[in-house]
Amino acid sequence: MKKSDILIIGNGISGLFAACIAADMGKKVQILSYGAGTLTIGGGIIDVLGYDDQGKFIADPLKGMDGISANHPYAKTGAQTAKKALEAFLKITEEEGYPYLGSPDKNLWLPTAVGNFKPTCLVPRTMDTEALFKADNILVVGFDTMKDFYADMATKNLRERLSKNKNVEEFIVKLNFEYGRDLRDISAMDVARWLETDEGHRSFVDQVKGHVKANTAIVLPPVLGLEPNYKVLDSLKKELSCALIEVSSLPPAVTGTRLNKMLHSCAKKRGVQIIEKARVVGSEIIDGKCQAVITEGFDRQRKFYAEQFILATGGVYGGGIIAKIGAMSEPIFNIDIEVPKVQTDWSYKQLFADKKQIFAQYGVSVDENLTPVAADGSKPASNVKVVGRSLAGYDFCYEKSGNGVALITAYKAAAAFCGEA
Protein backbone atom coordinates (compact mmCIF):
# COMPACT_ATOMS: atom_id res chain seq x y z
CA MET A 1 0.00 0.00 0.00
CA LYS A 2 2.31 2.65 -1.16
CA LYS A 3 -0.17 5.42 -1.89
CA SER A 4 -1.52 7.52 0.93
CA ASP A 5 -3.32 10.83 1.26
CA ILE A 6 -0.66 12.31 3.43
CA LEU A 7 2.83 10.96 3.72
CA ILE A 8 4.87 12.10 6.68
CA ILE A 9 8.61 11.73 6.73
CA GLY A 10 9.87 11.39 10.27
CA ASN A 11 8.35 9.98 13.44
CA GLY A 12 9.52 12.40 16.07
CA ILE A 13 7.03 14.49 17.98
CA SER A 14 6.07 16.66 15.00
CA GLY A 15 5.64 13.73 12.59
CA LEU A 16 3.57 11.68 15.01
CA PHE A 17 1.41 14.62 16.06
CA ALA A 18 0.78 15.65 12.45
CA ALA A 19 -0.18 12.05 11.71
CA CYS A 20 -2.63 11.95 14.61
CA ILE A 21 -4.25 15.23 13.58
CA ALA A 22 -4.53 14.30 9.90
CA ALA A 23 -5.79 10.79 10.62
CA ASP A 24 -8.36 12.26 12.98
CA MET A 25 -9.63 14.33 10.09
CA GLY A 26 -10.15 11.17 8.05
CA LYS A 27 -6.99 11.04 5.97
CA LYS A 28 -5.04 7.93 5.11
CA VAL A 29 -1.65 8.63 6.63
CA GLN A 30 1.64 6.86 6.27
CA ILE A 31 4.85 7.66 8.15
CA LEU A 32 8.31 6.82 6.87
CA SER A 33 10.81 6.79 9.70
CA TYR A 34 14.52 6.29 9.97
CA GLY A 35 15.42 5.94 13.62
CA ALA A 36 13.09 6.50 16.50
CA GLY A 37 12.99 10.28 16.42
CA THR A 38 14.66 12.27 19.15
CA LEU A 39 11.65 12.29 21.43
CA THR A 40 13.28 9.83 23.82
CA ILE A 41 16.30 12.09 24.15
CA GLY A 42 14.20 15.07 25.19
CA GLY A 43 12.23 15.28 28.36
CA GLY A 44 8.70 14.84 27.04
CA ILE A 45 7.70 18.31 28.18
CA ILE A 46 6.23 20.95 25.93
CA ASP A 47 8.30 24.13 25.95
CA VAL A 48 6.40 26.73 23.94
CA LEU A 49 8.21 30.02 24.37
CA GLY A 50 10.15 30.79 27.52
CA TYR A 51 12.39 33.69 26.58
CA ASP A 52 12.36 36.45 24.00
CA ASP A 53 15.34 37.38 21.80
CA GLN A 54 16.83 39.47 24.60
CA GLY A 55 16.58 36.60 27.05
CA LYS A 56 13.65 38.17 28.92
CA PHE A 57 11.26 35.71 30.51
CA ILE A 58 7.87 35.42 28.80
CA ALA A 59 5.02 34.75 31.22
CA ASP A 60 2.40 34.11 28.52
CA PRO A 61 3.77 32.22 25.52
CA LEU A 62 0.82 33.09 23.30
CA LYS A 63 1.28 36.79 23.95
CA GLY A 64 5.00 36.34 23.41
CA MET A 65 4.25 35.23 19.85
CA ASP A 66 2.93 38.69 18.99
CA GLY A 67 5.62 40.69 17.34
CA ILE A 68 8.01 37.74 17.13
CA SER A 69 10.53 38.14 14.31
CA ALA A 70 9.08 37.46 10.85
CA ASN A 71 11.14 34.36 10.06
CA HIS A 72 10.26 32.60 13.31
CA PRO A 73 7.95 29.58 12.82
CA TYR A 74 5.47 31.16 15.21
CA ALA A 75 5.22 34.16 12.91
CA LYS A 76 3.90 31.73 10.26
CA THR A 77 1.43 30.02 12.55
CA GLY A 78 0.18 32.84 14.75
CA ALA A 79 -1.02 32.58 18.32
CA GLN A 80 -4.50 31.41 17.31
CA THR A 81 -3.23 28.25 15.64
CA ALA A 82 -0.75 27.76 18.46
CA LYS A 83 -3.59 27.73 20.97
CA LYS A 84 -5.61 25.28 18.87
CA ALA A 85 -2.62 23.01 18.40
CA LEU A 86 -1.73 22.88 22.07
CA GLU A 87 -5.35 22.28 23.00
CA ALA A 88 -5.50 19.46 20.48
CA PHE A 89 -2.40 18.00 22.10
CA LEU A 90 -3.93 18.29 25.56
CA LYS A 91 -7.05 16.55 24.26
CA ILE A 92 -5.01 13.66 22.88
CA THR A 93 -3.18 13.24 26.19
CA GLU A 94 -6.57 13.16 27.89
CA GLU A 95 -7.91 10.52 25.50
CA GLU A 96 -4.81 8.41 25.87
CA GLY A 97 -5.11 8.36 29.65
CA TYR A 98 -1.96 10.38 30.16
CA PRO A 99 -3.29 13.94 30.54
CA TYR A 100 -0.83 16.83 30.59
CA LEU A 101 -1.07 19.86 32.85
CA GLY A 102 -0.73 23.51 31.96
CA SER A 103 -2.26 26.02 29.68
CA PRO A 104 -0.95 27.53 26.42
CA ASP A 105 -1.08 31.04 27.88
CA LYS A 106 1.04 30.42 30.91
CA ASN A 107 4.62 29.34 31.52
CA LEU A 108 5.52 27.14 34.45
CA TRP A 109 8.86 26.94 36.28
CA LEU A 110 10.02 23.36 36.33
CA PRO A 111 12.91 22.18 38.53
CA THR A 112 15.84 20.54 36.74
CA ALA A 113 18.34 17.87 37.71
CA VAL A 114 20.78 20.65 38.61
CA GLY A 115 18.32 22.14 41.09
CA ASN A 116 17.60 25.29 39.13
CA PHE A 117 14.41 26.04 37.19
CA LYS A 118 13.45 26.23 33.54
CA PRO A 119 10.37 27.74 31.97
CA THR A 120 8.06 25.34 30.20
CA CYS A 121 4.41 25.20 29.29
CA LEU A 122 2.74 21.79 29.22
CA VAL A 123 3.96 18.96 31.44
CA PRO A 124 2.78 15.51 32.46
CA ARG A 125 1.15 15.31 35.86
CA THR A 126 4.37 13.77 37.16
CA MET A 127 5.82 17.26 36.86
CA ASP A 128 3.15 19.22 38.69
CA THR A 129 5.52 22.00 39.55
CA GLU A 130 2.78 24.26 40.93
CA ALA A 131 2.60 21.84 43.84
CA LEU A 132 6.24 22.50 44.58
CA PHE A 133 5.63 26.20 44.99
CA LYS A 134 2.62 25.56 47.22
CA ALA A 135 4.42 23.14 49.53
CA ASP A 136 6.14 24.21 52.75
CA ASN A 137 8.49 21.27 52.77
CA ILE A 138 10.49 20.10 49.81
CA LEU A 139 12.01 16.65 50.02
CA VAL A 140 14.57 15.98 47.33
CA VAL A 141 14.69 12.21 46.87
CA GLY A 142 17.65 10.54 45.22
CA PHE A 143 18.64 6.89 44.87
CA ASP A 144 21.90 5.69 46.32
CA THR A 145 23.33 3.86 43.35
CA MET A 146 21.48 5.53 40.48
CA LYS A 147 23.45 7.33 37.83
CA ASP A 148 22.62 10.81 36.59
CA PHE A 149 20.88 12.38 39.53
CA TYR A 150 22.73 14.07 42.36
CA ALA A 151 20.23 14.86 45.10
CA ASP A 152 22.68 16.95 47.09
CA MET A 153 23.44 19.21 44.14
CA ALA A 154 19.73 19.60 43.43
CA THR A 155 19.02 20.27 47.11
CA LYS A 156 21.74 22.87 47.42
CA ASN A 157 20.65 24.73 44.32
CA LEU A 158 16.93 24.51 45.11
CA ARG A 159 17.58 25.85 48.60
CA GLU A 160 19.45 28.81 47.13
CA ARG A 161 16.58 29.59 44.81
CA LEU A 162 13.46 28.98 46.85
CA SER A 163 12.18 31.37 49.47
CA LYS A 164 13.78 31.11 52.89
CA ASN A 165 10.63 29.89 54.63
CA LYS A 166 10.61 26.70 52.60
CA ASN A 167 12.28 23.77 54.21
CA VAL A 168 14.37 21.89 51.60
CA GLU A 169 15.76 18.55 52.66
CA GLU A 170 17.41 15.62 51.00
CA PHE A 171 16.70 11.93 51.34
CA ILE A 172 18.41 9.02 49.65
CA VAL A 173 16.44 5.87 48.92
CA LYS A 174 18.47 2.68 49.10
CA LEU A 175 17.94 0.59 46.01
CA ASN A 176 19.65 -2.56 47.29
CA PHE A 177 20.09 -3.71 43.70
CA GLU A 178 22.63 -6.38 43.10
CA TYR A 179 25.87 -4.61 42.27
CA GLY A 180 29.09 -5.83 40.80
CA ARG A 181 31.71 -5.45 38.13
CA ASP A 182 29.70 -7.35 35.55
CA LEU A 183 26.43 -5.56 36.12
CA ARG A 184 25.51 -2.40 34.28
CA ASP A 185 25.30 0.98 36.04
CA ILE A 186 21.79 1.79 37.24
CA SER A 187 19.92 4.33 35.15
CA ALA A 188 16.70 6.23 35.73
CA MET A 189 15.06 3.70 33.42
CA ASP A 190 16.10 0.82 35.68
CA VAL A 191 14.68 2.63 38.69
CA ALA A 192 11.48 3.40 36.76
CA ARG A 193 11.11 -0.30 36.01
CA TRP A 194 11.70 -1.07 39.69
CA LEU A 195 9.01 1.38 40.80
CA GLU A 196 6.58 -0.37 38.47
CA THR A 197 7.01 -3.56 40.51
CA ASP A 198 5.21 -4.17 43.81
CA GLU A 199 8.52 -4.75 45.53
CA GLY A 200 9.96 -1.43 44.35
CA HIS A 201 6.81 0.44 45.16
CA ARG A 202 6.68 -1.00 48.68
CA SER A 203 10.32 -0.34 49.36
CA PHE A 204 10.09 3.27 48.18
CA VAL A 205 7.05 3.99 50.32
CA ASP A 206 8.55 2.35 53.39
CA GLN A 207 11.78 4.28 53.11
CA VAL A 208 10.34 7.66 52.26
CA LYS A 209 7.20 7.72 54.38
CA GLY A 210 8.84 8.73 57.65
CA HIS A 211 10.42 11.75 56.00
CA VAL A 212 7.25 13.21 54.57
CA LYS A 213 5.89 16.00 56.76
CA ALA A 214 2.63 17.83 56.34
CA ASN A 215 2.41 19.76 53.09
CA THR A 216 5.42 18.19 51.46
CA ALA A 217 6.35 18.00 47.80
CA ILE A 218 8.87 15.36 46.74
CA VAL A 219 11.29 16.33 43.98
CA LEU A 220 12.88 13.33 42.30
CA PRO A 221 14.51 12.22 39.04
CA PRO A 222 12.19 11.03 36.25
CA VAL A 223 11.49 7.51 37.50
CA LEU A 224 7.72 7.30 37.89
CA GLY A 225 7.19 4.44 35.45
CA LEU A 226 7.94 3.91 31.78
CA GLU A 227 4.38 3.62 30.55
CA PRO A 228 2.25 6.59 29.52
CA ASN A 229 -0.05 6.52 32.52
CA TYR A 230 -0.06 7.72 36.11
CA LYS A 231 -0.33 4.41 37.93
CA VAL A 232 2.99 4.80 39.74
CA LEU A 233 2.44 8.49 40.49
CA ASP A 234 -1.10 8.10 41.76
CA SER A 235 -0.41 5.19 44.03
CA LEU A 236 2.67 6.86 45.53
CA LYS A 237 0.76 10.10 46.00
CA LYS A 238 -1.99 8.28 47.77
CA GLU A 239 0.25 6.32 50.07
CA LEU A 240 2.60 9.17 50.90
CA SER A 241 -0.06 11.91 50.95
CA CYS A 242 2.18 14.35 49.16
CA ALA A 243 2.93 15.68 45.70
CA LEU A 244 5.72 14.19 43.60
CA ILE A 245 7.54 16.19 40.95
CA GLU A 246 9.98 14.74 38.44
CA VAL A 247 12.76 17.08 37.34
CA SER A 248 13.79 17.97 33.81
CA SER A 249 16.78 15.74 33.24
CA LEU A 250 19.20 14.32 30.71
CA PRO A 251 18.87 11.26 28.46
CA PRO A 252 17.95 8.45 28.48
CA ALA A 253 14.67 10.20 29.10
CA VAL A 254 11.97 8.33 30.94
CA THR A 255 9.44 11.11 30.40
CA GLY A 256 10.28 11.36 26.71
CA THR A 257 9.84 7.61 26.38
CA ARG A 258 6.37 7.90 27.85
CA LEU A 259 5.33 10.65 25.45
CA ASN A 260 6.80 8.70 22.55
CA LYS A 261 4.77 5.63 23.47
CA MET A 262 1.63 7.70 23.92
CA LEU A 263 1.90 9.36 20.51
CA HIS A 264 2.67 6.02 18.84
CA SER A 265 -0.34 4.43 20.44
CA CYS A 266 -2.50 7.36 19.39
CA ALA A 267 -1.27 7.20 15.79
CA LYS A 268 -1.72 3.42 15.57
CA LYS A 269 -5.26 3.67 16.90
CA ARG A 270 -6.03 6.13 14.13
CA GLY A 271 -4.80 3.68 11.51
CA VAL A 272 -1.55 5.45 10.74
CA GLN A 273 0.87 3.11 9.03
CA ILE A 274 4.50 3.45 10.10
CA ILE A 275 7.31 2.04 8.00
CA GLU A 276 10.46 1.84 10.06
CA LYS A 277 14.08 2.06 8.94
CA ALA A 278 12.94 3.68 5.69
CA ARG A 279 15.71 6.03 4.70
CA VAL A 280 14.26 8.64 2.38
CA VAL A 281 16.92 9.81 -0.04
CA GLY A 282 15.05 11.87 -2.58
CA SER A 283 11.79 12.85 -4.17
CA GLU A 284 10.09 12.84 -7.52
CA ILE A 285 8.78 16.27 -8.39
CA ILE A 286 6.75 16.97 -11.52
CA ASP A 287 5.47 20.45 -12.40
CA GLY A 288 6.19 21.78 -8.95
CA LYS A 289 4.33 18.99 -7.19
CA CYS A 290 5.86 16.14 -5.29
CA GLN A 291 4.62 12.80 -6.62
CA ALA A 292 6.57 10.44 -4.45
CA VAL A 293 9.52 10.17 -2.15
CA ILE A 294 12.21 7.58 -2.70
CA THR A 295 13.65 5.29 -0.04
CA GLU A 296 16.87 3.38 -0.24
CA GLY A 297 18.12 0.44 1.77
CA PHE A 298 20.31 -2.59 1.27
CA ASP A 299 18.05 -3.98 -1.44
CA ARG A 300 16.57 -1.41 -3.81
CA GLN A 301 14.92 1.95 -4.10
CA ARG A 302 11.20 2.20 -3.43
CA LYS A 303 8.76 4.96 -4.22
CA PHE A 304 6.06 6.06 -1.82
CA TYR A 305 3.28 8.07 -3.44
CA ALA A 306 0.90 10.52 -1.78
CA GLU A 307 -1.21 13.58 -2.43
CA GLN A 308 0.57 15.62 0.17
CA PHE A 309 3.80 15.43 2.10
CA ILE A 310 4.93 16.64 5.47
CA LEU A 311 8.64 16.90 6.08
CA ALA A 312 9.25 16.19 9.77
CA THR A 313 12.79 14.84 9.59
CA GLY A 314 14.26 17.10 12.25
CA GLY A 315 17.27 19.36 12.11
CA VAL A 316 20.93 18.54 11.90
CA TYR A 317 20.66 16.34 14.97
CA GLY A 318 17.75 14.29 13.71
CA GLY A 319 19.37 13.91 10.30
CA GLY A 320 16.84 16.06 8.45
CA ILE A 321 19.47 18.59 7.56
CA ILE A 322 22.99 17.80 6.48
CA ALA A 323 25.78 20.12 7.57
CA LYS A 324 28.94 20.01 5.54
CA ILE A 325 31.98 22.20 5.34
CA GLY A 326 30.67 25.62 4.40
CA ALA A 327 27.35 24.20 3.19
CA MET A 328 24.03 22.96 4.46
CA SER A 329 21.12 21.29 2.73
CA GLU A 330 17.86 19.46 3.09
CA PRO A 331 18.55 16.22 1.20
CA ILE A 332 15.07 14.93 0.31
CA PHE A 333 13.76 17.93 -1.61
CA ASN A 334 17.26 19.11 -2.32
CA ILE A 335 16.91 22.51 -0.73
CA ASP A 336 20.13 24.41 -0.19
CA ILE A 337 20.26 26.37 3.02
CA GLU A 338 22.29 29.54 2.91
CA VAL A 339 25.14 29.50 5.41
CA PRO A 340 28.44 31.36 5.70
CA LYS A 341 31.35 29.77 3.88
CA VAL A 342 33.62 30.16 6.89
CA GLN A 343 32.73 27.66 9.60
CA THR A 344 33.54 29.93 12.53
CA ASP A 345 30.92 32.39 11.25
CA TRP A 346 28.28 29.78 12.07
CA SER A 347 28.59 30.42 15.78
CA TYR A 348 29.58 32.80 18.54
CA LYS A 349 32.81 32.37 20.43
CA GLN A 350 30.95 31.21 23.51
CA LEU A 351 28.66 28.21 23.31
CA PHE A 352 26.38 29.74 25.95
CA ALA A 353 26.37 33.08 24.21
CA ASP A 354 23.51 34.76 26.07
CA LYS A 355 21.80 35.19 22.74
CA LYS A 356 20.38 32.87 20.12
CA GLN A 357 23.18 30.76 18.64
CA ILE A 358 23.65 31.36 14.94
CA PHE A 359 23.77 27.76 13.73
CA ALA A 360 20.76 26.84 15.84
CA GLN A 361 18.60 29.01 13.62
CA TYR A 362 19.65 27.43 10.34
CA GLY A 363 16.95 25.39 8.68
CA VAL A 364 14.53 25.26 5.78
CA SER A 365 12.85 28.57 4.98
CA VAL A 366 9.11 28.43 4.43
CA ASP A 367 6.30 30.73 3.42
CA GLU A 368 3.32 31.51 5.64
CA ASN A 369 1.79 28.14 4.69
CA LEU A 370 4.93 26.24 5.73
CA THR A 371 5.70 25.45 2.08
CA PRO A 372 9.47 25.31 1.55
CA VAL A 373 11.15 28.22 -0.20
CA ALA A 374 14.56 27.75 -1.82
CA ALA A 375 17.37 30.27 -1.50
CA ASP A 376 16.45 31.82 -4.85
CA GLY A 377 12.86 32.37 -3.72
CA SER A 378 11.42 29.51 -5.75
CA LYS A 379 9.15 26.89 -4.24
CA PRO A 380 10.32 23.39 -5.13
CA ALA A 381 7.07 21.60 -4.30
CA SER A 382 3.71 23.16 -3.54
CA ASN A 383 2.24 20.07 -1.83
CA VAL A 384 5.00 19.81 0.76
CA LYS A 385 4.97 21.37 4.20
CA VAL A 386 7.89 21.56 6.60
CA VAL A 387 7.40 21.21 10.34
CA GLY A 388 9.40 21.03 13.55
CA ARG A 389 13.12 21.22 13.89
CA SER A 390 13.75 21.29 10.12
CA LEU A 391 12.46 24.87 10.12
CA ALA A 392 14.68 27.92 10.10
CA GLY A 393 14.40 30.94 12.31
CA TYR A 394 14.41 29.78 15.91
CA ASP A 395 16.75 28.53 18.61
CA PHE A 396 14.77 26.08 20.67
CA CYS A 397 17.43 25.81 23.34
CA TYR A 398 17.73 29.51 24.00
CA GLU A 399 14.01 30.29 23.68
CA LYS A 400 12.79 27.06 25.29
CA SER A 401 10.43 26.45 22.40
CA GLY A 402 11.38 23.01 21.02
CA ASN A 403 8.36 20.78 21.32
CA GLY A 404 6.06 23.79 21.04
CA VAL A 405 7.28 24.64 17.56
CA ALA A 406 7.05 20.94 16.67
CA LEU A 407 3.43 20.57 17.78
CA ILE A 408 2.20 23.90 16.50
CA THR A 409 3.72 23.70 13.04
CA ALA A 410 2.69 20.04 12.74
CA TYR A 411 -0.86 20.97 13.60
CA LYS A 412 -0.92 23.80 11.10
CA ALA A 413 0.45 21.61 8.31
CA ALA A 414 -1.89 18.69 8.99
CA ALA A 415 -4.95 20.88 9.41
CA ALA A 416 -4.17 22.82 6.24
CA PHE A 417 -3.83 19.59 4.26
CA CYS A 418 -7.17 18.51 5.64
CA GLY A 419 -8.84 21.66 4.43
CA GLU A 420 -8.85 23.54 7.70
CA ALA A 421 -7.26 26.94 7.83
- Site residues for another protein, 350-409, by CB under 8 A, read 350-352, 354, 357, 359-360, 396-398, 400, 402
- Short-list 273, 313, 309, 312, CA closest to 291: 309
Neighbours of 79 (CB within 10 A): 20
Of 75, 275, 294, 373, the residue at the interface with another protein (CB under 8 A) is 275
Does residue 297 bind another protein (CB under 8 A)? yes
- Of residues 47-66, those binding another protein (CB under 8 A): 47, 50-51, 55-57
Does residue 194 bind another protein (CB under 8 A)? no
CB-wise, 280 or 416, nearer to another protein? Answer: 280
Of 28, 83, 147, 211, the residue at the interface with another protein (CB under 8 A) is 147
- Of residues 207-246, those binding another protein (CB under 8 A): none
- Of residues 64-103, those binding another protein (CB under 8 A): none
CB-wise, 2 or 91, nearer to another protein? Answer: 2
CB-wise, 33 or 308, nearer to another protein? Answer: 33
Three-state helix/strand/coil letters over 114-181: CCCEEEECEEECCECHHHHHHCCEEEEEEECCECCCCHHHHHHHHHHHCCCCCEEEEEEECCCCCCCC
Q: Report d(CA 387, CA 312) in Å as an integer.
A: 5
Of 67, 70, 184, 214, the residue at the interface with another protein (CB under 8 A) is 184
- Short-list 398, 332, 312, 295, CA closest to 8: 312
Does residue 164 bind another protein (CB under 8 A)? no
- Of residues 103-142, those binding another protein (CB under 8 A): 109, 112-119, 133
The CA distances from residue 334 to 280, 346, 375, 398, in Å, are: 12, 21, 11, 28
Does residue 4 bind another protein (CB under 8 A)? no
**Phi and psi for 303 in degrees, rounded to 5?**
-110, 135
Beta bridge partners of 120: 108
Least distance to another protein, CB of residue 371, Å: 25
Q: What is the CA radius of gyration of the chain?
A: 22
Does residue 144 bind another protein (CB under 8 A)? yes
Of 218, 224, 274, 364, the residue at the interface with another protein (CB under 8 A) is 274
How many residues lie near another protein (CB under 8 A)? 101
Of 22, 186, 311, 405, the residue at the interface with another protein (CB under 8 A) is 186
Helix axes 13-24, 73-95, angle to 10 degrees: 70
- Of residues 303-342, those binding another protein (CB under 8 A): 314-319, 323-325, 342
- Short-list 218, 350, 380, CA closest to 288: 380
